[in-house]
A and B are shown apart, each in its own frame.
Chain A
Amino acid sequence: MKYAYFPGCSLSSTGIEYDLSTRETARVLGIDLWEIPEWNCCGASSGHLTDHLLSLALPARNMAIAEEAGLDVAIPCAACYARSKNTELAVCNSAEMRQEIEEVIERKYEGKAKARALLDIIANDIQAEVIKEKVHKELKGIKAACYYGCLLVRPLAVGFDDPEDPQSMDNLVKSLGGETVDWAYKTECCGASCPTTVPETGKKMLERIFESAKNAGANCLVTACPMCLNNLDMRQGQVEKTYSKKYDMPVFYFTELTGLAFGVEPTKLGLNKHFVDAMGLVNEVLKADGRRETA
């Protein structure tokens, strides 16, 4: 299994642990990730608000390089995935648009290289049995509220799961030996773009997510989006202060949990880099009697 790998800007800065854990998880699962040479920013959030063509051309260049190599593209970041998938669909649906894009990027992109969300690959392409076989340490004690966010499974044409009640990540966490909760905010927006412009609205949006997860009995959140994680992790303290509440809810990338279950050293996954302490819960999992007998 070989994919062109598009980490995107977040994964080389604020979301470095997503990159680390992705590479570790892929290594264990035998997924060969070929990082797209000289990849560029996909232009998420700012690109498509500025210029439609620009927003399609930016990801198109990365996709074109992958297409030359004959590979589909594995994309961890939800925003990068949404932008790249949109480009792929635009190129496939309109020869005119394709020509326009190809002129701008000065490369050929016929839409043969497909944009794939990393979650989709790991949770849906790889069989649950295979995942279970690789599990070294079951995630005993993890009660995850799987948070898909607003970009990963919507709209219908872009997403790969039920846009209202997605299950991919839930199934994955269950395969890893963890529990998941049924909760209502798994696809609500976390308001990642609000904190600087309308901070009160942003905090309210976060509070509802934490509140719902907590009420459902979760002890952590799991996500597939560096923007969401950043927002949920970094601003949890602010929300707690504003609303006089206490959540103490670590936020994980699904790859961190996968890596952890596969027996990868927590620091190698970047689990020590979180704002809300994650190591406490991680150590509980490691201490618990979750060792699976290897056949």
Chain B
Amino acid sequence: MSVNEVQQNKEVEQNWEPKILVFACTWCTYAGADLTGLSRLQYPPNIRILKVPCSGRVNPQFVIKAFQKGVDGVLVAGCHPGDCHYTSGNYFTRRRFLLMRRLMEYIGMEPQRFQNRWISAAEAPKFQQVITEMTEEIRTLGPNRKLRDDQW
């Protein structure tokens, strides 16, 4: 690594902003995020929402891939337990989430980087609050380096 590159890295580090990927289910959380917009509730611009039909569609593999590619935090959000559009999808999410958290702890990664929330289509304030809090949390944790592919 040349001196120049180290310098560059430092700059990157200083201007670092958390990058958070949100897997949102179509029926509840995606709609909740739409309502947040309709209600003009403001939150940090650090999230990118990826629409999936159901939170149960989220393969843990996607989450690991995202961390490898350098995302700093991942949120999987769906309907409240019992409210799943597909009856039971979010129950699978919940179980996978618990395992995922344990895997994260096992490999020495801050488990807070991976979160799971239930946000209904009506809970715009909750969406705002969750995103705001999570962004702050990730900001204090700093950039994700543990799982990241060595790109520099």
Complex A–B touching at CB under 8 A:
no
Which residues on A are within 8 Å of B, measured CB to CB?
none
Which residues on B are within 8 Å of A, measured CB to CB?
none
